[in-house]
Structure 1
Amino acid sequence: MSEEKVEGILFDLDGVLIDSFDAWLSAYNEALEKFGKEALDEDEFREKCWGPEVKDSMKKFGLEEEAVNYCYSRYEANMDKVEISPEINRILGSIEKKMGLVTNTNTEQMAKILELHDFRRYFDVIVHGDDVEKKKPAPDSVLKACKLLKIRPESAILVGDTESDVRAGRKAGCKVIGVGIEGDWRIESLKELPDLLSEISG
């Protein structure tokens, strides 16, 4: 992918820009235990629940809307556990491309996250989970972001950390940088992103 073809960079939120793993783990376990299921350890949670939409994850345990809504409410209560990389401003500020944020997080929750960690200024567009009919791993949010940015999906790179991100990006026609996961390129930390983007564009 040459310099003139890279028109935009799209980012996932959870696990890429913020570390919300502990907050979601607590939220899921509180919901599971409330509705009579066993709590998950970190490995089980990562395998069964990390990445897909909450509704789809809860279906694996035979739980429906009431449990989903409770899980979301407990996530909001656990937002003090959400952390952000101290270098996020340097990393995002170094990218001289159009940028979009594509997340399964809904608008209300995103607003609360931005109250704590305001990195909105770096993004030309933000597509929330409730802005589209189908969340990732469907490509809807990625395609919507590209449309709003007025770029072709084939000229965009999606940065994500789950199989849902990889599938969404590839279904949309984007290249994918995996953070700790295989994509078209792989990095282990967001700190590696600026150098990789320079290499790709070069």
Structure 2
Amino acid sequence: MAIANPMMNPRLLEGLKTVVFDNDGVLIDSYEANMRYYGTILEQLGLPPMDDAQRYFVHSRTHDEAVRHIVPPELLKRAFEIGSGISQADLAPWFKRSDGIREFLEWLRAAGFNLAVNTSRGSSMQLVLKLTDLEGFFHPVVTSCDVAEPKPHPEGLFRIMRTHGVRPDEVAYIGDSIVDQKAAQASGVRFWAYRDMGLQADVHIDSFWSIRAAMQRCYKGLASAY
């Protein structure tokens, strides 16, 4: 197990061309926003609040999977109607950009790395990037709307590798859930776990400041201004 820090073995970071990010829990802290969204659906349906297991599930799965997990079949139609009436813009106060992420992205971009997103979030993804001032960093942004099989299926990561013409060993995927871990394992890319030591990962990241410092040491001379 390797923990990202400036003194870590640089061989664990060498050979990268592309860095892929999960969104919820990695690029942004959207936990409170998601809890309010799904909590509103349950409240309007007269259902009890989510338990811990349900909260973990909805935070890492697609919208469709999440709603079907917490709502009984006979109420699904109404649940989706309620959800469609909740504006993501209204949840903006509870979207928080992860500390140090923009600085890390700026360094990676200046150093010449390809940056992409592979997320379970759907059509709201572009709005979330806009609200958190993270537009323009990523290509492609693969959401659950763009694939036939969402995570943990590796389809999204395969699409990103084809787009940039890179091999699995040239890609690191930064995620925070077992869904991300399984997607990385299925695609063969390196998995870097963000703030979850319980995941099986090549590198564990406690902060984006520490992984940036480690990358700067490994890739000396690239984007020195950052």
Same fold (TM > 0.5): yes
Q: TM-score, normalised by structure 2?
A: 0.77
Q: Distance in 1 between matches of 2:213 and 2:82?
A: 41
Question: 1:140 aligned to 2:158?
Answer: no
CA drift at 1:130: 0.8
Can you list the C-alpha shifts for 1:61-119, whole angstroms capped at 9, x where unaligned? Answer: 32435424533643613232111135332111122311111112224x12222332232
Q: Distance in 2 between matches of 1:173 and 1:187?
A: 19
In structure 2, the residue matched to 1:20 is 30
In structure 1, the residue matched to 2:50 is 40
As a proportion of its length, which structure holds more helix? Answer: 1
Aligned length: 200
Question: 1:117 aligned to 2:126?
Answer: no
Alignment of 1:12-91 (within 5 A): 12-40=22-50, 43-61=52-70, 62-63=72-73, 64=76, 66-68=78-80, 70-71=82-83, 73-74=85-86, 76=88, 77-85=90-98, 87-91=100-104
Q: Is the 8 A contact 1:25 1:45 kept in 2?
A: no
Q: TM-score, normalised by structure 1?
A: 0.85
Q: Is the 8 A contact 1:125 1:149 kept in 2?
A: no
Identify the range of structure 1 (119-128 vs 65-74) with the bigger mean alpha-carbon deviation: 65-74
CA drift at 1:200: 6.8
Q: Which amino acid aligns with 1:87?
A: G
Identify the range of structure 1 (177-186 vs 47-56) with the bigger mean alpha-carbon deviation: 47-56
Q: Distance in 2 between matches of 1:156 and 1:110?
A: 22
Q: Which amino acid aligns with 1:85?
A: S
Question: 1:175 aligned to 2:190?
Answer: yes
| Aligned partner of residue 56 in structure 2, secondary structure | helix
Q: Which amino acid aligns with 2:38?
A: Y
Q: Is the 8 A contact 2:26 2:98 kept in 1?
A: no
CA-atom RMSD, angstroms? 2.5
Percentage of pairs with the same residue: 22
- The runs of 5 or more residues in structure 1 that have no matched partner are none
Q: Which amino acid aligns with 1:74?
A: I
Describe the shift of the 1:65–1:171 C-alpha distance in structure 2 as closer, same or farther (beyond 3 A).
Answer: farther
Identify the range of structure 1 (86-95 vs 12-21) with the bigger mean alpha-carbon deviation: 86-95
Identify the range of structure 1 (74-83 vs 96-105) with the bigger mean alpha-carbon deviation: 74-83
Question: 1:191 aligned to 2:203?
Answer: no
